[in-house]
Amino acid sequence: MSALPIAEAAQVLGVPPGTLRRWCREQRFPVAQAGRRGRGCALLVDPEVVRKWRGADKHDALILELAQAIPDLLAAATEKAFIRIENEPAKRRLAGYFTAAWFQLATAVQDTLRERCASVPEVRMFPEAIKRLQKIAKGD
């Protein structure tokens, strides 16, 4: 099953939409992807991922929580490291390198976590900090 808007995913899962929104807000399970434009579609959730998360034991649930948090933590650290570079003539090019390094780190960590819990998702979304670095690299 593919990712669905919150209301549809909640209906498939048999939980109130508010509960599913709260779980997303609290980052208690991996969110599939950023949604499309329009009311109620800002966040898309894969019901199968939620089912796996709900059925996971505490160990798997902890790994899934880590898998959700780590890309954002690495992105924030990457952006801080980039900001600390002072007056480097090639800083724009370095932003691209920092973005690539983040992706390699995030996917390596996710792959390692996936060895212990098969339901850990692939890195699909780029955190805002990485999107900002990508814009700098492109010269936007």
> What pTM was computed for the model?
0.60
Split at pLDDT 50, 70, 90, the class of 61 is: confident
pLDDT tens digits for 67-104? Answer: 888 999 999 999 999 999 887 788 889 999 999 999 99
Rounded CA separation 106/101 (Å): 9
- The pair of structure tokens assigned to 49 is 């991922």
CA angle 43, 46, 51 (to 5 degrees): 130
Contact status, residue 2 vs residue 35, Cβ threshold 8 Å: no
pLDDT at 29: 63
Architecture of domain 1-55: Orthogonal Bundle (1.10)
Residue ranges covered by each domain of the chain: 1-55, 56-140
Split at pLDDT 50, 70, 90, the class of 17 is: confident
- The pair of structure tokens assigned to 56 is 């996971």
Query: CA–CA distance from 131 to each of 43, 96, 98, 106, 114 (Å)?
Result: 17, 11, 11, 15, 25
Query: CA–CA distance from 138 to each of 58, 99, 129, 130 (Å)?
Result: 42, 11, 15, 12
